[in-house]
Each structure stands twice: as C-alpha cells, then as structure tokens.
C-alpha cells in the first residue's frame, strides 16, 4: 500500500488521541471478499513481530524451568511458571484467566504439551496459546513483547484485526508497523481480495484507508 495513504488515515484516526485516561492502542482492521472462511485453510492465524514495537509495556508470561526460568526472570518476564505451577493453575484457573486478558505467553518446547493439555482451553479461547521459545530466552521475551496475532474470528466472518502500536507512537512508526502486518496478510490473502482496510484508536471511530486509490496508483506506475 502507498505509504501516504496509510499515513493520512493514521493522522485522521489519531486526532482523537489523548481523549482517554489511558493510552489507547491503534488497530488495523482488514475486511476480505471472495475468501471462503468456512474452509479452515482460508482462515488466518498469523504472528507478526512489529518492527517498532507496540508502544507500551506488554507483560510476558513464560513457562520454563531451571536455567530458562532464571533467564526469563532476568529478561523482565511478568511471571515464570514451572510444570508444578501449571498443575496448580489447571485446578484453579482464576489466575490464568486474569493473565490471559493482557499477557503474551511463551513456553519452553518441552513444556508445550503440558501447557496445552492443562491450560489450552482457557488460553485458546483468548487466542493466547504460548509460542515455543527458540534461541535465547531474552530474545524470545523481547519478540513476544512486540508480537501481535491476527486470527479469523469465526467461520463466516471475513475480517481480522490487530494492534499496530499505541497512540503514543509517531505516525511514521505506526505506518512501518502497519506495513509489516499488511505484508503478512498479503502472504495469506491475495491482495485483490482485500476489500477494505481501516485504522482506529481502540475507543475511536474507524478511518478507512483508500485501498482502491493505492491499487490504481500502483497500476499506473507499472
């Protein structure tokens, strides 16, 4: 998409920033056409690490033990849980339900099965199933802090949305984050099947980005 197009839409959406007593997220919404989301293979379930981050503190919960647990604590993880902790939370899911409202989750590969079996029902419902830790734990925590998830909401809802940052960020940084999400979406959905794109503050009105103008400009320049 043409950079000016998305920046203009973001500038309009951000006119309402500062109107709330909290820092609002900036969201991107993609609506599709000619995509049969009743077929599982056509539904989106994508992770995107935003290059400019999310613009506010994102708590990360880590399922790990021994050295990986220590590394997670040093990296600033909100909570670090062992296999024994998982069993306790499985018996009383109040804490994991609360954490699932705001946190991102990562897990040591050898703990993924236990997490899925014991806590998957709660985390899956919130689209918060943990991603496996690969490489250094500190890097995995940092990536989780900047990661957003795009997932189809149901069989018959041809739309996805995700955060691309916060109102505290510059338009340029938000546009760069949007571009990372847009490229990921285009990898799954043919660009001509993207019917419309909106950006908005979490508590603000949706502002449409002129997709048709961007496509026409691209065609004229080719």
Domain boundary among 145, 178, 202: 145
- Which is more confidently placed, 222 or 156? 156
Residue 52 lies in a domain: no
Same domain for 139 and 64, yes or no, is: yes
Backbone angles phi, psi at 203, to 5 degrees: -115, 20
Residue 184 lies in a domain: yes
pLDDT above 50 for 218? no
- Which is more confidently placed, 2 or 206? 206
Q: Contact 219/10 with Cβ under 8 angstroms?
A: no
Total structural domains in the chain? 2
How far apart CA 10 and CA 207 sit, in angstroms, is 8
Domain that holds residue 77: 60-145
**15-55 pLDDT, tens per residue?**
988 778 899 999 999 999 999 888 888 889 999 999 999 99
Pairing mode, strands 131-132 and 104-107: parallel
CATH number at residue 179: 3.30.190.20
Nearest to 17 by CA among 171, 206, 201: 201
pLDDT above 90 for 219? no
Residue 141 lies in a domain: yes
**94-140 pLDDT, tens per residue?**
999 999 999 999 999 999 999 999 999 999 999 899 999 999 999 99
Domain boundary among 90, 117, 145: 145
Same domain for 127 and 202, yes or no, is: no
Same domain for 132 and 158, yes or no, is: no
CATH number at residue 136: 3.40.50.790
- For residue 23, the Cα-to-chain-centroid distance in whole angstroms is 17
């Amino acid at each position: 998409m043409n950079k000016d197009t998305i920046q203009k839409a973001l500038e309009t959406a951000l006119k309402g920033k500062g109107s709330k007593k909290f820092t609002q997220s900036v969201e991107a919404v993609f609506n599709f056409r000619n995509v049969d989301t009743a077929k599982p293979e056509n539904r989106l379930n994508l992770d995107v690490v935003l290059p400019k981050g999310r613009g506010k503190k994102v708590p990360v919960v880590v399922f790990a033990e021994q050295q990986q647990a220590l590394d997670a604590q040093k990296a600033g993880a909100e909570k670090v849980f062992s296999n024994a902790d998982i069993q306790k939370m499985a018996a009383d899911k109040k804490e994991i339900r609360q954490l699932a409202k705001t946190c991102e989750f990562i897990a040591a590969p050898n703990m993924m099965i236990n997490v899925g079996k014991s806590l998957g029902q709660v985390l899956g419902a919130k689209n918060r199933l943990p991603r496996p830790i690969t490489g250094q734990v500190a890097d995995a925590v940092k990536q989780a802090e900047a990661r957003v998830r795009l997932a189809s909401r149901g069989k018959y809802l041809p739309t996805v949305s995700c955060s691309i940052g916060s109102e505290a960020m510059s338009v340029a940084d938000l546009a760069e984050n949007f571009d990372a999400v847009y490229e990921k979406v285009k990898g799954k959905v043919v660009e001509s099947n993207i019917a419309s794109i909106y950006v908005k503050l979490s508590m603000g009105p949706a502002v449409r980005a002129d997709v048709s103008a961007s496509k026409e400009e691209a065609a004229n320049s080719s």
